[in-house]
Structures are given as C-alpha cells and as structure tokens.
Chain A
Amino acid sequence: MTKSETGDLKTADGISLKLSLQRSLRRKKRNALLLVAPLFLFILITFILPIFYMLMKSVDNSITQEILPTAAPLLLKWDPKSGELPDEEVFKAFIIDGKVAAKEKTINRLGKRLNYEKSGTSSLFRKTGRKLRKLDPEKLTTTYQEALIGMDKKWGKLETWQLLHRESGPYTKSYFLSAVDMKQDVDGVTWKAEDSQIYLNLFKRTLWLSFLITFLTVLLGYPIAYLLATLKTSTSNLLIILVLLPFWTSLLVRTSSWIALLQKEGVINDFLFAIGLISNDGRLAMIHNQTGTVVAMTHILLPFMILPLFSVMKTINPSYVRAARSMGADSFTAFRRVYFPNTIAGIGAGGILVFILSIGYYITPALVGGTQGTLISNFIAYHISGSLNWGLAAALGTLLLLLVVALYILYDKIVGIDNMKLG
C-alpha cells in the first residue's frame, strides 16, 4: 500500500484503495441481495402490491369517466351552485354516452356506484338505460334536455346533476367521508343523519374492546409469565407447552368451544343454574355480544402477551430483587421499584402486539360477537363480500392501517421501539 501524489491510498498493484474496497464489497452486497430477492418479490407481489391496489380503491373513481367519456369532462365545467341545470351540450353528451353504455350494459354499473351516495340512483340509471337503448339520438324531435327529463323526472332535478358532477372526477373522497359517517353535498361536508352513523361508533368500539382485551391479557398473562420465568427449566418448559397449546388448536375449534361454554344453554349457565345462583329465566347472555368477543379474544390472544413478557422476565437477573431486598426494600417495594420497571419492555411489546392484532381481528367477533360485539374488520369483510362496496371497504381498511401506524408512532415516542423485546 503506497500513498499516491494526490493523497489517496493505493493497493500494492496501484489501484485506488477505495475502488478496490468497493469492488470487494460489491460481490458481498450482490450476494445479500440475491438471498433476499425471492422473498422480496414474493412479498411485493402478494402483499405490498395488493395492499397498494386496495388502498387506491378507496379514492378511485375512474368509472364515471370510463362510462361517460364526453359527458363527464363537460359536466365538470358546470357550476353546481348556479341553480340552473347544465347546458344542452351536457345533456346531448350524456345521451350519446349513455346510449353506448346502455348497449354495452355498463350503465348499470355507474348507477350502482352512484347508488352508494344516494339510494334510488341505481334504479334511475336502469330505467334510463332501458329507454336510451330504444332511442335514436339522430331522430329527436325535442331538445336533448327534454328527452332525458321525459325518461325520468329526476333528470330535471338539480341534485341529480350535482351528484353526478361531484363524482365525475377520476378521484373521490366520498368513500372516506362515508367511513367516518360524513357526506358531501353542494354546500360542503356535513355529518350524516344521526341514525345512519355507524362507523365512528364502530371505530370507537373497536378501540375500546382492543384496549380492554390488551389490559386483560396483561392482567392474566403477567403472573403466568412471572411463574414461567422463575420456575426451573424443566417445569417451565412443560408450562410453556400449555401456553402454546392453543396455537396448535384450530381457531374455529377454540372459538366454537367458547360458544358451547357461554351460550344460554351452555356449560356455565347450566352450572350456575344447578347451584341455584341464577333462575332459569335469568340465564346470563354471555355470547353473541361484547362479553363473548372480549372473553374469546382475550383467551386467543393471551399467548401473544405471555411470550414476550416471559422472554423479557427471563433476562431479568434474579439478583436485582435480592439486591433490592438486601438494601432494605420489602418484597412489594422491590417488585414495584426494581422488578416491574424492568418488565415494561415486555408489557409494551406484548401490549402493542395484542392491541394491533385485536384491532383488526375478524373471525372471533364474527362468530361470537353478535351485533354488539362486532368490530370494524367485520364491516370491512361485509363490504368486500356482501355489499360489494369495495371503495368503502378500502377506505375503512386504510383508516384502520393509519390508526395502527399512528399508535405505533405514539408507542415509539413514549416507550421507544428499541426497548421492545419479542424474544
């Protein structure tokens, strides 16, 4: 290695040392990349792209411009607050676009899309489509406006056009507004009528139940984890198997067994009735409501709390507590001042794990939750497979994702993610 005139180091062959180092590291980097490439591609194709696609669904509104290629851009130029119907030009474009769409039978799709915003729109479009198919725009005796209003009086109403105008752009915020129980009309964004507000309450309920479940898992899991961490290894291994046992049992079996236990004619009610604590009419409703969701989910998520707690407690040197005791702290003070603070990383790790899992939990609330115990994910599933309103499902999903990210950031700020120990 010699120093050249310009001052940079050279190898024995006279190549720049930096270059040589880069070259030697390049192969290492390439190998590392090759090793992760299959998994990265798999994740990209099966996880990141679908999620991105679903998130885009929550604002996607390309359908209007697709079905009304000339009418939609013209309509966007109309001022919905003018108090007048759009120009004849717009009506003409709508009839011509609508005729094509009616022939291809795509006009009903647009009706269905707009029906999410205002019910009755779907039937309006079906009816109009039927009539448009028979109409020959070349042989009109009236204006286009009169012709369309003749098909259905709603076309003479301002709000129909205001709705169409609002949803003519390529993107929409209406899904997100629906997801937080709001709507948009010509005057701007307002709350929905009180009796049709559901999602905000659902978010609140989801957060509250998730918090409750997390709290219960800490309460139940902490003593178990402590026992596991302090017992001798052979005994604690056996107990860990018992903790892990639920993982090896089907989720459906576990949830169904809770139904068997908690239902009106179930084991617990029968027992309470048999020992005379409750009357036959007073059998407790413990399933198909929030109680059922909380009990079953606490049971199912408990291992996710116990294992991180256990792994943290395992690393706590038993001499900490002994040192505290030798310095004059009674056993409670030693626990509170010395042992407990050292387990906070485990509570944080287990807590965030259980909370995030329960916030998006689907199968258990669907089976045992009834109407009062269902969570936001059950509604997402309903909009995906029931109402087929994917845009709203995507908006709800996006909000849920943002919520989790926000909580994660909050956790990082308060506890610090580096302190989290999962194993």
Chain B
Amino acid sequence: MPVNKEDYLVRFENVQKSYDGEILVVKDLNLNMAKGEFLTMLGPSGSGKTTCLMMLAGFEPATHGEIYLDNVPINRVPPHKRGIGMVFQSYALFPHMTIGENLSFPLEVRKMGKSEREAKVKNALDMVQLGNFADRRPAQLSGGQQQRVAVARSLVFDPDVVLMDEPLGALDKNLREQMQYEIKHIHERLGVTVLYVTHDQSEALTMSDRVAVFDAGVIQQLAPPNILYEEPENAFVADFIGDNNCLHGIVTSETENSCVVKTDDGSQIQANKINIKGVGQPSTLSIRPERVIVNPEPGQVPNIFEAKAAELIYLGDHIRTRMEVCGNDNFYVKIPNSSHHADLNKGDTVKIGWNEYDCRALDAFDN
C-alpha cells in the first residue's frame, strides 16, 4: 500500500451524495485505491455502493466532496473523458452491432487506425477465449459468453480503472464461480485496477485484494478478505460476512484486552474486547459457528455453557446444529461429520464452549 495519498490512483475525499436533498445515500466517503488493486464494494442493496461507482464513472455528480483520478479532480470531467472502463450488470452489449463491432467501438471513437483496431479486438477476444465470435451478434451468445464480451470490451481500450457493477448477477451459480476465477486471472495478468460492486459476499472474498463493506452509505470496514472474516470490527460486518452467532448483553467489567458480558439470562461470558463503549453499555458478541467446541474438557476454554440441541441439519461434511444457549435459541454450531455426531440427538443437552479470543465483543448492533 502506498504511503503518500498522492500515490493512490483513485481517491474519494469526503464524498457525499443525495438524490432528493433529504437523505444522504453516501455519507462522507473516504476511500483510496492503489494502482493495480482489486477492490470490492460489498453491501446490501441500497447501501450506496452502486452510487459510488456511478459517481466515479461520471454518471452521477457528487453532491459534496471530490473524487481524484491520478490526482486530477474529476467531478467536472464528463464520463467519456475519464477513460474508465465499465462492465454493467446487464452487460449493455449493443444489440445492433456484432461482437467485433462492439469491441471496436471504444477504439473507433478514439480515432484509432483500422489495423491497430483489429489487432486489439482480436487480442481482447482471445483473452476471454471468444476469438471466433467476432461476427456474431450479442443475442446469439449465451449469458456467460456475453459476460466475457462485456469484460473484454471494458478492457480493450486499456483503461486505468475498470468498474464492474454486479457483472455476474445474472449468471447461474456454477458459471458465476467460473467467471470469478476468470476475472481474477485477467486482473492478475493485466495488472489493471478494478473497482467491483457486488452484494454476494463469497464473490467479494474470492476475488478481492480488499473489500469495503457498505451499509447505510458508510464503509463499515475496509480490509482484506481474511481480516474481514476473522476480525470484524463491528456487529454489522460480523453478521454480514459468513455465518455468525450473535449474543446480546451488557458489559459488566473490562480489562485491557478482554471484558465480561452478561446476557439477559444471566450467563457471564468472557470476550475479546474489540469495540465496546464501556462498562454498563450494551454489546453484541460475535462467535463463528466453527469456533464453538462441543463437549470441551473442563478448563479447556473459559466459556462453557449448557446447550440444548433444537435442530440438526445434515449437510454432508458437517452437521449444522441449532442450539439454545445463554437465552439465545438461534445459536448455530458446526459439528464436523466425524464419529462424535452420532452422540447428539434432537432435544439432547450438551456442553459447548469457546475461547475468549474467538468471542468478539462488538457494538450493540441489533439484528
């Protein structure tokens, strides 16, 4: 990561956006993107991520703040002069042109010569393994092929930045996963800077160097995928990324690195102090299902509680078990499919426990 802010390729500085003058869709966005980075904006619909993309592309003006591209403020630069490639969710391939003409379009408007154009179009199509499709029309291609053409078209004029607005949203699951890898590989090969928008967290985790989790117009956390999953900084991120168990309670005591949270049913839980407001304040505890230990040895972990198995869902490699513990009847535990699981039946009472480190005390987000 660059040290000076001037070294970043894209910078959002205090950007705000409102459509109606009453509600801020984007509240004070500050975001820096390094050259060659694959950054994903992840969030539920209406969280402001697509608006950010549209502001960078130039289709929506920022209400306040400034966006810099290569240290040039671009608020007043029209979209066609920004030199930013874009892949749309609907692909937006021009139906009246062939695939070759579609790819040639950005080069033609740049007044590039014919032979150079043809070479570039061919290169771009070869890159997505569609070299023989130049003469077809978009309607003759499958969804996945159209998607690849859209990617090739956004890259054919060598833009510095490529924006992708949920480009895989319309594909079925297998194809989506395959395309995730393809886009990732293209990114690695070309070293192009990609700003990617999606609401699919596995997509974000698979592809990105860094993920910005959006909610309510604010970046909740900006971090590499592994940090995001293992060290969520607030309850929204903990709940949004991956499977998560939430326990609500009041902080009763705190030390430098840990605290004790008391839930409504009186259980005292030792937790990793991350983001709390102090003793007496509410907090949300986040525990990943795979970090919960069933039948721990006494003293093995500080938190051991009685739990009742309310529901067992067989998922092949593991048994997803819904348990009632600490007054929460929606507590999931992943039990690996080994010899242990045979011991557990619906309605059984069992001891479960977890480490202090794995139980993160976060803000009082109420889901």
A and B interact physically: yes
What residues of chain A have their CB less than 8 Å away from a CB belonging to chain B? Answer: 317, 319-320, 322-331, 333-334, 337-338, 341-342
Residues of A within 8 A of B89 (CB): 319
| Residue contact A324 to B96, C-beta cutoff 8 Å | no
In the complex, the answer to whether B157 meets A341 with C-beta atoms within 8 Å is no
Residues in A neighbouring B85, C-beta threshold 8 A: 326-327
The stretch from B30-38, B76-84, B313-321, B324-332 touching chain A is B76-84
Nearest CB in chain A: distance from B178 CB, A = 24
Residue of A319, A329, A341, A342 touching B109 (CB-CB under 8 A): A329
Complex Cα distance, B57 from A329, in Å, reads 13
Interface residue B124 (Cβ < 8 Å from any Cβ of A) = no
A328 touches B110 (CB 8 A): yes
CB atoms of A326 and B105 under 8 A apart? no
Provide a sorted-by-A list of 16 A–B residue pairs whose CB atoms are within 8 angstroms. Answer: A317-B92, A319-B88, A319-B92, A322-B59, A322-B86, A323-B86, A323-B153, A324-B105, A325-B58, A325-B78, A326-B79, A326-B163, A327-B85, A328-B83, A328-B109, A341-B96
B84 and A342: CB pair below 8 A?
A: no
Closest Cβ of chain B to A421, distance in Å, is 13
Q: Which chain B residues in 62-90 approach chain A with CB under 8 Å?
A: 78-86, 88-90
**Is B95's beta carbon under 8 Å from chain A?**
yes
Q: Does B106 contact A (CB under 8 A)?
A: yes
Beta-carbon contact of B88 and A330 below 8 Å: no
- Residues of B158-206 at the interface with A, using a CB-CB cut-off of 8 Å, are 163
CB of B94 closer than 8 Å to a CB of A? yes
A333 to B106, CA, bound (A): 11
CB-defined contacts of A325 to chain B, threshold 8 Å: 58-59, 78-80
Which of A329, A338, A341, A342 sits near B80, CB closer than 8 Å? A329
Q: Which residue of the partner chain B has the closest CB to A316?
A: B95
Residues of A within 8 A of B96 (CB): 341-342
B57 touches A327 (CB 8 A): no
Given A327-B105, A329-B105, A333-B109: A320 touches B80 (CB 8 Å cut-off): no
A317-B90, A319-B88, A337-B105 known; A326+B95 contact, CB < 8 A: no
Q: Are A327 and B88 in contact (CB under 8 A)?
A: no
B80 and A323 contact, CB distance less than 8 A: no
- For A320, what are the chain B residues with a Cβ–Cβ distance below 8 Å? 92, 94
**Given contact pairs A325-B59, A341-B96, A342-B95, a sample of 4 additional A-B residue pairs in the complex whose CB atoms are under 8 Å apart:** A323-B88, A324-B94, A326-B57, A328-B83
**Complex Cα gap A320–B59 (Å):** 13
Q: Which residues of B contact A331 (CB under 8 A)?
A: 78, 80
A187 and B246 alpha carbons, distance in the complex (Å): 106
Interchain CA distance A54-B59 in the complex, whole Å: 60
Q: Which residue of B lies closest to A338 (CB)?
A: B94
Q: Chain B nearest CB: distance from A137 CB in Å?
A: 79
Q: What's the least CB distance linking A234 to chain B, in Å?
A: 15
Bound complex: CA A342 to CA B82 (Å) = 26
Query: Do B80 and A330 have beta carbons less than 8 Å apart?
Result: yes
CB of A327 within 8 A of CB of B106, answer yes
Chain B: CB-nearest residue to A334: B80
Q: Inside 8 A of B86's CB, which chain A residues have their CB?
A: 322-323, 326
One of B58, B59, B78, B109 near A327 (C-beta < 8 A): B109
CB of B148 to closest CB in A, whole Å: 15
Residues in chain B near residue A323, CB distance under 8 A: 86, 88, 92, 94, 153
Q: Name B94's closest neighbour in chain A (CB-CB).
A: A338
| Minimum CB–CB distance for B315 against chain A, Å | 39
CB distance from B95 to the nearest CB of A (A): 7
Determine the distance from Cα of A319 to Cα of B170 in the docked complex, in whole angstroms: 15
Contact B94 A327 (CB under 8 A): no
Chain B 140-155 per-residue mask, 1 if CB under 8 angstroms from chain A, else 0 = 0000000000000110
Tell me the bound Cα distance from A139 to B258 in angstroms.
144
The digit string for B95-125, where 1 denotes a CB below 8 A from any CB of A, is 1100000000110011000000000000000
| Pair A327/B157 contact, Cβ less than 8 Å | yes
CB closest residue in chain B, given A341: B96
**Nearest CB in chain A: distance from B261 CB, A:** 48
A326 touches B94 (CB 8 A): no
Residues of A within 8 A of B79 (CB): 322, 325-326
Q: How far is the CA of A248 from the CA of B157 in the complex (A)?
A: 53
Expressed in whole angstroms, the Cα–Cα distance for A337 and B110 within the complex equals 14
Query: Which 10 interchain pairs have the tightest Cβ spacing?
Result: A327-B106, A323-B92, A319-B92, A326-B86, A325-B79, A319-B88, A341-B96, A329-B109, A328-B109, A328-B80
Digitize B257-272: 1 where CB-to-A-CB distance is under 8 Å, 0 elsewhere: 0000000000000000
Q: Which residue of B lies closest to A324 (CB)?
A: B105
Q: Which of A319, A322, A326, A337: most chain B CB closer than 10 A? A: A326
Docked complex Cα distance between A320 and B94 (Å): 6
Nearest CB of A to B117, in Å = 13
In the complex the two chains form, what is the Cα distance from A333 to B58 in whole Å?
A: 17
Q: How far is the CB of B190 from chain A (nearest CB, A)?
A: 17
Cβ contact within 8 Å between A319 and B90: yes
Closest residue to A329 on the B side, CB-wise? B109
Bound-state CA distance A270–B156 (Å) is 62
Give the complex CA separation of A110 and B92 in angstroms.
71
Complex Cα–Cα for A372 and B108 (A): 50
Q: In the complex the two chains form, is A322's CB within 8 Å of B88's CB? A: yes
CA distance A330 to B83 in the complex (A): 12
Q: Is the CB of B90 within 8 A of A326?
A: no
Q: How far is the CA of A334 from the CA of B92 in the complex (A)?
A: 13
User: Which B residues, 232 to 262, have Cβ-Cβ distances below 8 Å to chain A?
Assistant: none
Residues of A with C-beta under 8 A to B94:
320, 323-324, 338, 341-342
Q: Which residues of B contact A330 (CB under 8 A)?
A: 78, 80
- When distances are taken between beta carbons in the complex, the residues of chain B under 8 Å from A328 are 80-81, 83, 106, 109-110, 157
B81 neighbours in A (Cβ, 8 Å): 328
Contacts of A329 in B (CB 8 A): 80, 105-106, 109
